[in-house]
Chain A
Amino acid sequence: MGFFALYFIVVFLSMGVGSFYLIKKADMGDPLEVVNKYLIYLFVLDLLIRYMLQKMPVANIKPLLYLPFEKAQVVNYSLGKTIASFFNWGYAFFFLPFSIVLLIEGYNPLGVVAWHFGIFALIYCSNFINILVNNKDSVFYPVIAVFVALGACHYFGVFDITNYTAPFFNGLYNAPWMVIFPWIAVIGLYYAAFNYFIKNMYLDAGLQTKHAIAKTEDLSFLDKFGSTGTFLKNDIKLIKRNKRPKTAGLMSFLFLFYGLLFGSGAVEVYNGPVWQIFGGIFVSGGFLFTFGQFVPSWDSAYYQLMMSQNIKYRDYITSKWYLVVIATLISTVLASFYLFFGINAYLAVLVGAIYNIGVNSHLVLLGGAFIKMPIDLTSNKKAFGDKQAFNMKTMLLSLPKLLLPMIIFAAGYYLVNPTTGYVLVAAAGILGLAFRNIVFNKIEKIYKKEKYKTIHAYKQKA
């Protein structure tokens, strides 16, 4: 979690301090009221993220059952542990500095304190709601769908939910006594969660391991690709049926929209032409970075099988390469909406895709040979950054992935003209593709050399 958490702490801190003045400067109205207006969306987003990522306390209960504790103690301990989760206190990095800025700017201290504590109670409500609805997809996704629809209505000016929710958040400041409502809610939810757990603390009730009903899909259309097709079929199942790779797939979809930050003026430094290439690489390369980076660790749980089966390394690596390339192509097609922002925006994506396919796809496979981090497919824990994933070799390998195309582009852009910049980056990609065989031989050799170390590393449980 480390790296990702740190990133959010920095972002939250700067937003906490800066957003008051940004809103003021943008002349959007009273900063507190603006924040209050959009808080409802923050809470929905928060629930969504929690639902997908926050670990349930149940996992730790089983070993406590046989020990001499009272059930109430065990439940209080488990629920108490969630209170200390980063998903809760992480918000302090935004709300604390924001509240301090409010005080400095002369807002009514009692109101600010009431507002602050009210918001925190609501964050903890979110925490306990998440525990109560855990794994109830049939309840959860409709609720999210309703809010997405409400958000769309708001955007298109049909119906504005915030007109009904903002008064409540404003009320916390204007009428501090209202702070008791969220606190009553949070205490009520705690007891609801407590009772729910007490009632279900049996191995065949709440602590039962859930077994998914296996669904087999027909992927025989991939049979014509020979052994590459065999691995591709497996990789598709890997992504569809396991939590961790599914998250990677979802993240790579979000990368599609990363380019919106560029050229739209949302982030100032991103407006430079060289940064467009940076964005282009990420838009088409989401899958390459989130999934490709951890090849072959995805197969770590059964790596011994792969290494003793009738498999040629070459076929194995080739199939992974195709997977990354196909995903890059799909992303490139999906990213065609960047055409709305002008031909140059999409050109950056296209050129980025060519570079990704020709150069980065190889680099990512090369880097994977050195990572050797066993992955627990069924858990999202550690999904964002693991210290083993950041070693010197992978850091060095990430330089040519991002910096090199920017340098190549800058050289063409500033020395000749913008078109030359695009052409040069694309040419680098095509050149990489031409050397595919030589590069594959190298990669194969490294995989073979690292084989025993990799097997040993994967044996240590994730």
Chain B
Amino acid sequence: MIKAQNLTKTYGAATVLNIENLEIPKGQCFGLVGNNGAGKTTFFSLLLDLIQPSTGQIINNNVQVNTSEDWKPFTSAFIDESFLIGYLTPEEYFYFIGELRGQNKADVDALVNSFEDFFHGEILNQKKYLRDLSKGNQKKAGIVASFIGSPELVILDEPFANLDPTTQIRLKGIIKNLAANQNTTVLVSSHDLSHVTEVCERIVVLDKGELVKDIKTSAATLKELEIFFSGAEAPDAAVAVFEDEE
């Protein structure tokens, strides 16, 4: 579904992203992890044609994203609050997105109502504008809006941040279901290693813009990631960490 080739992004002398080759097949639940400045949001922004690549390109479903706009109908995303329209109520926002994606009111209502659990009674019929909702509730609205119109590719940047524990657990279920049952490709980035390993079947680690790990998730993945991010890459060093813990 997604092919990135020789993709780099540089600002002056600094290279913030350098991916030689990355392919994500359709229906995969793909996790992206890395420290601040690793290039996660840069990659997502390139995918959405919000910034221009310095070299290379991204092909989304046979559409080169920086030359054609034809990827827009089947792609949706929630990156940050700049994807929300603050002066609308959540309902109005859902309808607006729905209209842009060719869904009528009834379609949107049906979809949104199926997320009643996830909303936990804090989104619908609150007589509040999105800008007056808490960060967590804004996120809930933004995430659900990205599901409107059955997109084939959903991009979520740090969807677990700011959510309360109950909602985090529900979101994990929703994302797994999307990829497994609806053949939707889901791209998720997160700083929470246990969440991504639980949800994603494949995890890619970015470090200073470079792709350093590409793991098919297994029972050992979480440990592997924890060792990597504790700053002890070499096996010897890993042992040292364990010894410290004892």
Residues of A in contact with B (beta carbons under 8 Å apart): 211-216, 227, 230, 233-234, 237-238, 241-242, 301-305, 307-312, 377-378, 452, 455-456, 459
Contacts and interface: CB of A to CB of B under 8 A. Distances in A.
Top 9 A-B pairs ranked by shortest CB distance?
A: A308-B48, A241-B87, A305-B83, A211-B132, A230-B99, A304-B82, A214-B89, A310-B72, A214-B127
A311 B92 contact: no
A312 B82 CA distance: 19
Nearest to B129: A214
Interface in B27-84: 48-52, 69, 72-73, 75-77, 79-80, 82-84
Nearest to B44: A308
Contacts of B208: none
A444 B36 CA distance: 36
B86 A309 contact: no
B101 interface: yes
Contacts of B127: 213-215
Interface size band for B:
35 or more
Nearest to A299: B85
Given A237-B92, A308-B77, A311-B72, A377 B87 contact: yes
A234 B79 contact: no
Contacts of A227: 99-100
A206 B136 CA distance: 25
Interface in B142-199: 149
29 contacts: A211-B128, A213-B128, A215-B127, A227-B99, A227-B100, A234-B85, A234-B88, A237-B88, A242-B87, A301-B86, A302-B82, A302-B83, A302-B85, A302-B86, A303-B82, A304-B79, A305-B82, A305-B84, A305-B85, A308-B49, A308-B72, A309-B100, A310-B73, A310-B102, A310-B149, A311-B100, A377-B86, A378-B131, A452-B50
Nearest to B145: A305
B149 to A, nearest CB: 8
Contacts of B89: 214, 216
B72 to A, nearest CB: 5
Contacts of A308: 48-50, 72, 75-77, 83
A212 B89 CA distance: 11
A309 B85 contact: no
B97 interface: yes
Contacts of A215: 127
B229 interface: no
B103 to A, nearest CB: 10
Nearest to A452: B52
Contacts of B207: none
Contacts, number: 86
Given A234-B96, A241-B87, A304-B82, A309 B52 contact: no
Contacts of A301: 82, 85-86
A456 B89 CA distance: 27
B97 A307 contact: no
A241 B97 contact: no
Q: Which of B51, B75, B83 has most chain A Cβ within 10 Å? A: B83
Q: Which of A215, A303, A310, A312 has most chain B Cβ within 10 Å? A: A310
A230 B100 contact: yes
B235 to A, nearest CB: 42
Contacts of A242: 87
A247 to B, nearest CB: 15
Contacts of B79: 304
Interface string B114-152: 000000000000111101100000000000000001000
Q: Which of A233, A241, A304, A459 has most chain B Cβ within 10 Å? A: A304
Nearest to A217: B92
A212 B132 contact: yes
Nearest to B92: A216
Contacts of A213: 127-128
A452 B51 contact: yes
Contacts of B75: 308
Contacts of A212: 129, 132
Contacts of B149: 310
Interface string B204-222: 0000000000000000000
Contacts of A237: 87-88, 92
Contacts of A234: 85, 88, 96
Contacts of B86: 301-302, 377
Contact of B83 (A216, A304, A455): A304
Nearest to A304: B82
A110 B126 CA distance: 62
Given A227-B99, A310-B73, 18 more contacts: A214-B89, A214-B126, A214-B128, A214-B129, A237-B88, A242-B87, A302-B86, A304-B50, A304-B80, A307-B49, A308-B49, A308-B76, A308-B83, A309-B76, A310-B149, A311-B72, A455-B51, A459-B82
A230 B50 CA distance: 23
Contact of A302 (B76, B77, B84, B101): B84
A241 B83 CA distance: 18
Contacts of A238: 87
Contacts of B82: 301-305, 459
B37 to A, nearest CB: 16
B50 A307 contact: yes
B101 to A, nearest CB: 5
A378 B130 CA distance: 13
Contacts of B80: 304
A301 B69 CA distance: 22
B108 to A, nearest CB: 13
B172 to A, nearest CB: 25
A449 to B, nearest CB: 11
Contact of A310 (B84, B87, B101, B128): B101
Contacts of B77: 308
Contacts of A241: 87, 129
Contacts of B88: 234, 237
Contacts of B49: 307-308
